[in-house]
A = this chain, B = another copy of it.
Amino acid sequence: MTYRIGYLGPAATFTNAAVKRFFGGEESIPYATIPDCMDAVAAREIDYAVVPLENAIEGSVNITIDYLVHEQPLAIVGEIILPIQQHLLVHPEHAEVWRQVTRVCSHPHAIAQCHRFLNQYLRGVPVEDATSTSAAARLVKEHPEERIAAIANETAAEAYGLTIVHRDIHTHQNNHTRFIILHNDAGVSLPYEEPERGMKTTLMVTLPADHPGALYQVLSAFAWRKLNLSKIESRPMKTGLGNYFFLIDVEGAYDGVMLPGAKQELEALGCSVTLLGSYPCYSLKRE
């Protein structure tokens, strides 16, 4: 059986690279926005959606969290972590003379990540924003008459037939992006090998109103059970300044005793607790 995988497009972005490397030969379909991609799962146009959740430098992708919590309650069924490697790409005709490019084009985040390289090798060359690293690569492809360089990934180099003239030009070597795999059914298992990083459980918790120590009580419920939290993040409820919900990542699977016990206690305290997913965590290696 083959699956249909939707992802945040366009083709040849980092999300596409994560999908290609993780799902291999399955059919993959780009969507213009994260909500479009999530709606397509709900409408059963696709089986899985792959969308970015968090980047080590830029932080959380708020639209993913907000749309999942407020608009489209899908289940998180997996996580993929991809190392972010940026390369300098030019049209093959200009590969020998890449130091004479007249402009460099990429997504603003990618440009920021390669600041040091640009300063050292292409100082003074004008830098231009594109809507994605992939769009920058396409621009280079479509204008062989101009000497433009793009900052983009290997997938974009292959997709547009460009030459990588300098690999790994990003400043921070520890930059990774965390993608989540979404499905209609929380009970579905990914048909893949054992995850390198085990299981994780993500809960959404809202606190009772006017109870200043509530967050401390929430953390207590996890702490005395020795349930380790790998992340806690607040996002606005959208009901007024000062009203937040919390996204809490707990290491390990949603077992039959400890996590349900914590959930029941928190609900008895007046919290609302929603299980967003309990899922395997995969890491892709550097290329």
Q: List residues of chain A with CB under 8 Å of any chain B CB.
A: 54-59, 62, 66, 81, 172, 174, 176, 178, 212-213, 215-216, 219-220, 222-223, 228-236, 238-244, 251
Bound complex: CA A66 to CA B275 (Å):
30
- Contact status B235-A231, CB under 8 Å: no
- Contact status A235-B59, CB under 8 Å: yes
Bound complex: CA A208 to CA B215 (Å):
20
Closest partner residue, chain B, to A217 (CB atom): B223
Dominant SS at the A interface? Answer: mixed
Which single member of B57, B232, B241, B251 contacts A56 (CB below 8 Å)?
B241
A268 to B: closest C-beta gap in Å:
19
Given A223-B213, A229-B212 in contact, is the A236-B62 Cβ separation under 8 Å? no
Which single member of B213, B223, B236, B240 contacts A216 (CB below 8 Å)?
B223
Bound complex: CA A220 to CA B218 (Å):
12
Which residues on B sit within 8 Å (CB–CB) of A54?
236, 241
Bound complex: CA A57 to CA B241 (Å):
8
Instruction: For the complex of A and B, list the 5 residue pairs with the smallest distance between their C-beta atoms, beginning with the closest.
Output: A212-B228, A174-B240, A216-B223, A56-B241, A216-B219
